[in-house]
Amino acid sequence: MSNQKNKSLPTSFLIVTAKWIWQTLWKTMMSQLAPSSTQGNYQRPSSQFRHSVSQKQDALYPSEQGRYRLYVGMGCPWAHRTLMVRALKGLENAIEITIVIPSVNQGGWVMAEPSENCQSLKQLYQLSQSNYQGRCTVPVLWDKKTKTIVNNESAEIIIILNEQFNQFATNKELNLDPEQLHNDIEAWNEKIYHNVNNGVYRCGFAQTQSAYEDACRGLFKTLDAIELHLENNIYLCGDKLTLADVRLFTTLIRFDVAYYGLFKCSIKRISDYPNLSRYVHDIDNLPNIKTTYDVAAIKQDYFGNLFPLNPSGIIPL
């Protein structure tokens, strides 16, 4: 009987104190990981490097084979966009890639192998701009000649890859942003970015119940609408694969293995949507697409490195 008394549960005071300490620490960590509004809504910071590449040879960044490198994380949906367009266009011999890996202990991306004499992405950013103090994110389009970051906004990098390196592409005929579909593509991009691409993060990084519920309802309202649209369309803009599909696919392929559980996007799985499931399957089976992401890396990056959301670091089977 005495042994049972010694193993009694913590008192309510200890529970309340521990809860207060954890919530305080959690809010501090979340403010660094995911800045939010006063209402607890996640607010994604803007990318800082917004230059382009041009086919004009007197441009600051002219289109040249072998001059540029992409820095990507294999678990990151934003970097995945650039790898998809690189693969679809057949630019593997024109643009190199360097893999970076998230480090929870260092609080950022580190190089799988040293590049430009840098061990981390932060060092690369500071090589490009010595006084840089912002977020060091992937993807990065890097100019090896001038040792500078050309662009770190994925939505712009995929346009650059689609338009500015066609003379080096093995799939020159593919245009993922045809003029006749441009307005439709942009309309889908706007809806998908807010409610789906960033919507899953707005769910996972919400810091209040109301912020989470608003984001989650918006996410599934949009997924329901896309499911209905895909009843009569192969892709978002009819029978042609476009940049809008690239931007949607990279979120959907991560949905069931990461966002559904870790980010509380738990009303439905993508596998519960017949048309979305067919859509993901079709794109996933296009040539070379499976080489552009790694499910094991996705699970490691999300469950293993987003400490405030998964303090144990346990990665689900």
Reply yes or no on whether the pLDDT at 39 is more than 90.
no
Give the pLDDT confidence score for residue 31 in this predicted structure: 65
Helix axes 243-254, 77-89, angle to 10 degrees: 130
Options 3.40.30.10, 3.30.450.40, 3.40.47.10, 3.40.50.720; CATH of 45-174+290-317: 3.40.30.10
Q: How far apart, in whole angstroms, are the C-alpha atoms of residue 229 and residue 223?
A: 10
- Pairwise CA distance, residues 63 & 56, whole Å: 7
Q: Where are the domains of the chain?
A: 45-174+290-317, 180-286
Residues annotated as part of the active site: 76, 201
Q: What is the pLDDT of residue 183?
A: 98
Cα–Cα distance for residue pair 266/37, rounded to 1 Å: 23
**pLDDT surpassing 90 at residue 133:** no
Cα separation of 126 and 135, whole Å?
A: 11
Question: Is the Cα torsion angle 238, 244, 245, 249 positive or negative in sign?
Answer: negative
Judged against a pLDDT cut of 90, whether residue 48 lies above it is answered with: no
Percent of the chain at pLDDT above 90?
Answer: 79
**171 has pLDDT over 90:** yes
Q: How many CA atoms lie within 13 A of 47 on its CB side?
A: 18
Is residue 160 within 8 Å of residue 151, measured between CB atoms?
yes
Tell me the sheet residues that pair with 98.
71
The pLDDT assigned to 18 comes to 78
> Which residues does residue 118 pair with via DSSP β-bridges, in sequence order?
115
Per-residue pLDDT averaged across 76-80, rounded? 98
Rg (alpha carbons) of the chain, rounded to whole number:
22
pLDDT band (50, 70, 90) for residue 263: very high
**Whole-prediction pTM:** 0.91
Residue-level pLDDT at 8: 62
Fill in the amino acid letter for 166: N
**CB distance 246 to 86 below 8 Å:** no
Please determine, for residue 92, whether its predicted confidence score (pLDDT) is greater than 90. yes
Task: State mean pLDDT over 275-284.
Answer: 98
And the tokens for 5? 């008394």
d(CA 2, CA 24): 36
pLDDT of residue 104: 79
Closest CA to 47 of 156, 163, 145: 156
Is domain 180-286 classified as CATH 1.20.1050.10?
A: yes
* Amino acid of residue 279: Y
Tell me how far CA of residue 40 lies from CA of 1, 36, 44, 249, 303, in angstroms.
Answer: 48, 5, 12, 27, 22
What is the arithmetic mean of pLDDT over 55-78? Answer: 96
Residues 161-173 have a mean pLDDT of 98
* Average pLDDT estimate for 21-42: 70
Confidence of residue 107 (pLDDT cuts 50, 70, 90): confident
In this predicted structure, the answer to whether residue 19 has a pLDDT above a threshold of 90 is no
Say whether pLDDT at 130 is over 80: yes
> Tokens at residue 182, please?
């441009």
% of the chain exceeding 70 in pLDDT: 93
Q: pLDDT tens for residues 149-162?
A: 999 999 999 999 99
Cβ neighbours around 73 below 10 Å, total: 23
pLDDT at 1 over 70: no
Does residue 9 register a pLDDT over 70? no
Mean pLDDT of 292-309: 94
Is pLDDT larger for residue 11 or for residue 249? 249
Check the CA dihedral 192-101-87-253 and report its sign: negative
